[in-house]
Amino acid sequence: MLPKAIQRKLKECGVVINGKDPWDPVVTDERFYNRIMAEKSLGLGESYMDGWWHCRRIDEFISRVLKGAVDDDIRGGLKLALLSLPSKILNLQSKSRAKIVAEEHYNIGNDLFTSFLDPNLQYSCGYFKNTEDLAQAQINKLDLIAEKLELQPGDTLLDIGCGWGGLAKYMAQKYGCRVTGVNISTEQLKFAVDYCKGLPVEFVKKDYRDISDKYDKIVSVGMFEHVGQKNYRPYMEVAHRSLKDEGIFLLHTIACNTSGPNCDAWLNKYIFPNGVLPSMAQIAATAEGLFVMEDMQNLGPHYDKTLMHWYANFTNAWPRLASKYGERFRRMFEYYLLCCAGSFRSRTVQLFQVLMTKKGRAQPSVCVR
């Protein structure tokens, strides 16, 4: 069993081990308890993958645990401490290591991602303003970005970490931009080239540190989470040198409430190797002296909704994916989607859109409210 202090905290959150509510975890293997105490979130996620517990509403379970700071009372063991050590002393997101996340996550298979994403293939949160539909929410997000960037026909737009090319295609078709997408994922780029055929869009397989041209506007959606705190300043310097003096830069990133390594051990091992969430303080500090921070919008609650839509789509698509990916992968991926939804619901993590310009430029029109 778990220590009484932790059981008490869980009860205060409305969570009871082997309880009757849909967010109560049901333990099927007694080894679960020792594993949680030794490995915290890593043990929780791995034991779910191993079938040691199940829960009808993992998203709500995680949300309640995080709101109640239950994990603060679990110290973990030496194994967990050793796992976090490299992120503190090494640059885990160097050029030579940056491709790891592309190979282990983004190159898994385009059939997987197209099965649960919207038609514009947006692998970040939508904007559920006046809609509950995922596809419309993602269009809302793209139009919001375009409005903030003051996109005009003929603008050159740099998309750092362009995914499957959905943003590039939308901005080229609707706003008449000439888009350059930079990415290091072979599978994403292969898809993007075909997806945007015939449009004024170019895709380049290149590390962001090697970008050298100048652009009217720059956007980066869901890529800063892979940069790492030792590279935040170099990243901002690349954006600064690549942006024309009258340009606008929009950074769209998941972020934590506090500064630090901010690497979840389970997500780091199974989903986003070497991923690190910045804080707003870190974003501001690394942009200091380079950019004027014009506007910040927190879309965190919209990510909760997005993830729940992705989970529903993934569940519906699973019968045609099962033979390729297998049951353990299913448990891993559903845990990932629901765990992240719970994290946003608890307000432990946020989604910031930060609008920046170079010093001396007129304030963007979106800031005049």
Residues annotated catalytic, as ranges: 340
Strand 201-205 and strand 292-298: the pairing is: unpaired
- Under a CB-based contact definition with an 8 Å cutoff, are residues 192 and 181 in contact? yes
288 to each of 226, 279, 356, how far by Cα in Å? Answer: 20, 14, 11
SS3 247: strand
Task: State the SS3 of 277-333.
Answer: CCEHHHHHHHHCCCCEEEEEEECHHHHHHHHHHHHHHHHHHHHHHHHHHCHHHHHHH
- Residue from 84, 87, 72, 365 nearest 226 by CA: 87
The phi and psi torsions of 350 (rounded to 5 degrees) equal -130, 170
Q: How many CA atoms lie within 13 A of 317 on its CB side?
A: 19
Token pair of 341 as six digits: 């939804």
- Under a CB-based contact definition with an 8 Å cutoff, are residues 203 and 229 in contact? no
Length of the chain: 369
Collect all residues with Cβ–Cβ distance below 8 Å to 20 and sequence separation of at least 6. Answer: none
- Residue from 355, 348, 289, 307 nearest 122 by CA: 307
Residue type, 207: D
| Separation CA 100–CA 92 (nearest Å) | 10
In 10 A of CB 285, how many CB atoms? Answer: 15
